[in-house]
């Protein structure tokens, strides 16, 4: 499966979730319901990707806590929304649309960082990014300016702060699984 999308609702009202989403099942051993699972899903509309429309707020008014994830490993795309009682708590969108060259990066960032995001800020990812940036600065004849860039990137890692328009920390479609694991949603089938 190269892509999938799903909603997760922390609710004990399976029938209401089925009515709202068309399909819903329990996730064994958790308080979560998995709703509208779509294997080989297409990405959400541009309005969602750019943060102008929410996929979860309306559902969360009726079900409480609702999460949406979309992951696509063929284009390295990731969409995440988390809402509670009708309020958006966090939204992150990594998609190859930052510019006309389809540069991947953070299109939309809203809310406060959540614990599962620590997986995006691993030390090996920082080392890889710094090495890549160092090489780029040398190639562009700006080696002396690299120290400032390095300090900027290390500050982002220290604060674990994702910013719209940035290309780091890098992300891909597997982040959808990181979200599920972060919320204790362990499904037998991906």
In this prediction, residues 69-89 reach a mean pLDDT of 97
Residues 107 and 119 both lie in one domain? no
Give 61's pLDDT tier (boundaries 50, 70, 90): very high
Most distant pair of Cα atoms in the chain: their distance: 62
Indicate whether 68 pLDDT > 60.
yes
pLDDT tens, 8-25? 999 999 999 999 999 999
Residue 187 — pLDDT band, cuts 50, 70, 90? Answer: confident
- Whether residue 135 sits in one domain with residue 62: no
Kindly state whether residues 107 and 121 are assigned to the same domain.
no
* Cβ neighbours around 77 below 10 Å, total: 25
Q: Evaluate if residue 178 carries a pLDDT over 80.
A: yes
The residue range of the domain holding 138 is 114-161
Q: Are residues 187 and 124 in the same domain?
A: no
Same domain as 139, residue 77: no
126 and 140 in a common domain:
yes
pLDDT at 189 over 90: no
Tell me: do 99 and 136 sit in the same domain: no
Domain count, the chain: 2
**119 shares a domain with 65:** no
Percent of the chain residues past pLDDT 90, beyond the cut: 94
Residues 49 and 134 in one domain: no
Report residue 138 as tokens: 């040398």
Rg (alpha carbons) of the chain, rounded to whole number: 18
The percent of residues above 70 in pLDDT, for the chain, comes to: 98
Residues 6+ apart with CB under 8 A from 65: 9, 10, 11, 82, 83, 84, 85
pLDDT band at 154 (very low <50, low <70, confident <90, very high): very high
Q: Are residues 39 and 82 in the same domain?
A: yes
| Residues 102, 183 share a domain | yes
> What DSSP letter does each residue of the chain carry, written as one string?
--EEEEEEEE-S-HHHHHHHHS-EEE-TTSSEEEEEEEETPPPPPHHHHTTSS-SSHHHHHHHSEEEEEEEETTTTEEEEEEEETTEEEEEEEEEE-SSTT--EEEEEEEE---GGGGGGG-HHHHHHHHHHHHHHHHHTT-GGGHHHHHHHHHHHHHHT---TT---S---TTHHHHHHHHTT---S--
Q: 60: closest CA among 19, 80, 93, 89?
A: 89
Average pLDDT over residues 71-93: 97
Statement to judge: residues 122 and 37 lie in one domain: no
Predicted local confidence at residue 181, as pLDDT: 94
Instruction: Give the integer Cα–Cα distance in Å for 170 and 121.
Output: 9
Q: Mean pLDDT, the chain, as a whole number? A: 94
Query: Average pLDDT in the 162-184 region?
Result: 95
Segment 111-140, tens digit of pLDDT? 999 999 999 999 999 999 999 999 999 999
Mean predicted confidence (pLDDT) in 148-152: 95
**Tokens standing for residue 91:** 């939204």
For residue 96, is pLDDT > 70? yes
Distance, CA of 11 to chain centre: 22
């Amino acid at each position: 499966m190269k892509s999938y999308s799903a909603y997760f609702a922390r609710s004990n009202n399976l029938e209401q979730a089925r009515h709202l989403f068309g399909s819903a099942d329990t996730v064994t051993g958790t308080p979560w319901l998995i709703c509208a699972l779509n294997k080989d899903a297409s990405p959400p509309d541009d309005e969602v990707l750019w943060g102008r429309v929410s996929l979860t707020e309306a559902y969360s008014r009726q079900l409480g806590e609702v999460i949406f994830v979309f992951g696509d490993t063929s284009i390295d795309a990731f969409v995440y929304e988390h809402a509670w009682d009708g309020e958006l708590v966090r939204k992150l969108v990594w998609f190859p649309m930052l510019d006309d060259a389809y540069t991947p990066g953070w299109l939309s960032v809203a809310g406060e960082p959540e614990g599962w995001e620590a997986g995006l800020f691993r030390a090996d990812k920082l080392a890889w990014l710094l090495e890549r940036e160092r090489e780029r600065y040398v190639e562009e004849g700006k080696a002396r300016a690299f120290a400032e860039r390095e300090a900027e990137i290390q500050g982002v890692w220290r604060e674990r702060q994702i910013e719209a328009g940035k290309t780091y920390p890098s992300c891909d479609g597997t982040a959808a699984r990181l979200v599920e694991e972060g919320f204790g949603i362990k499904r037998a089938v991906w």
